[in-house]
Amino acid sequence: MGFPEQQQQAPGTQSQMVPRPDCGEDSYRGSGKLTGKVAVITGADSGIGRAVAIAFAREGADVLLSYLDEHDDAQEVADLVRADGRRAVLVPGDLSDPAHCRAVIDRAITEFGRVDVLVSNAAYQMTHESLDEITDEEFDYTFRTNVGAYFTLVKAAVPHMPRGSSIIGSSSVNSDMPSPTLAPYAATKSAIANLSASLAQLLGPKGIRVNSVAPGPIWTPLIPSTMPPKKVAHFGDDTPLGRAGQPAELAAAYVLLAGDDGSYISGARLAVTGGRPIL
């Protein structure tokens, strides 16, 4: 099906994408699955994080929206959350800094008193055709943003998570089918899946469930801001379903893992890949 060739500066903004991703703004209908819960969602300004925030709010949750610096996109999400009668707290900043990760959780506790659901979704990636193009600094930043932040957020949140709480990491089909041009990113996504499985065993006795979602090719700002225009134009064409997914198509997976319908699901990795297999 394809998309128009386009390019943005990283990390990209949803408002500049053509077409704009469908994050469920007009389609998601809630049924009270998360009524009264408090959720912290990173990367919540756009893409998958935005879709999860919209869905969680429409299922009855208050949300803290963590994002880097895409203020206009984040404000749109906050407005949507508040339009559904739920509270939205905006916290910008760089999650590659452990101190900021801890500040995100501190803000959630100040505003809401607890954390029922933690969704670690924010990520960095960049396309490289040669290993020589990947600097030491970029490799380190990718791991600090994608994996280090997940670890620090969980460590800070767990003391404030009651029994029945849920932690969800965003892994990727790249964890099992790594793209050679996304080597650092793919490695972090494998680490997220592995860390989630370890945390499920560590935190199970506390009554905290931990899972990960493994998206396939999803139309988000990461794509035009980290891939060359010709790859953007054919993004997702090689999946068995023949197209990229929309962020809205991920929302139900996160709702399942966050709520009581998933009360016996822990240590799992849920694939939403358009037919690409994961092991």
CA dihedral for 58, 275, 184, 158, sign (positive or negative): positive
Mean pLDDT of 82-95: 98
Using the predicted structure, report yes or no on whether residue 12 has a pLDDT greater than 90.
Answer: no
Instruction: Please report the pLDDT score of residue 95 as a whole number.
Output: 98
Instruction: Please report the pLDDT score of residue 232 as a whole number.
Output: 93
- What confidence tens digit (pLDDT) does each residue in 199-225 have? 999 999 999 999 999 999 999 988 998
Mean pLDDT of the chain: 95
Active site residues: 185
> Which percentage of the chain shows pLDDT scores above 70?
100
- What confidence tens digit (pLDDT) does each residue in 176-206 have? 889 999 999 999 999 999 999 999 999 999 9
Q: Among 65-79, 107-121, 221-235, which stretch is predicted with the lowest mean pLDDT?
A: 221-235
Tell me how far CA of residue 14 lies from CA of 23, 44, 221, in angstroms.
10, 11, 6
If pLDDT is split at 50, 70 and 90, which confidence band does 1 have? low
Give the position of tokens 């060359």. 228
Q: How far apart are CA 202 and CA 240, in angstroms?
A: 36
Instruction: Please report the pLDDT score of residue 158 as a whole number.
Output: 98
Mean pLDDT of 243-253: 96
Instruction: Please report the pLDDT score of residue 183 as a whole number.
Output: 96
Domains of the chain in sequence order: 31-272 (3.40.50.720)
| Cut 0.75: pTM above it | yes
Instruction: Please report the pLDDT score of residue 118 as a whole number.
Output: 99
How would you class 91 by CB atoms within 10 Å of its CB: exposed for 0-12, middle for 13-18, buried for 19 or more? buried
If pLDDT is split at 50, 70 and 90, which confidence band does 226 have? confident
- What confidence tens digit (pLDDT) does each residue in 110-169 have? 999 999 999 999 999 999 999 999 999 999 999 999 999 999 999 999 999 999 999 999
Using the predicted structure, report yes or no on whether residue 11 has a pLDDT greater than 90.
Answer: no
Q: Among 98-102, 110-114, 206-210, 237-241, which stretch is predicted with the lowest mean pLDDT?
A: 237-241
Using the predicted structure, report yes or no on whether residue 24 has a pLDDT greater than 60.
Answer: yes
Instruction: Please report the pLDDT score of residue 250 as a whole number.
Output: 96
Residues 36 and 60: beta-carbon distance below 8 Å: yes
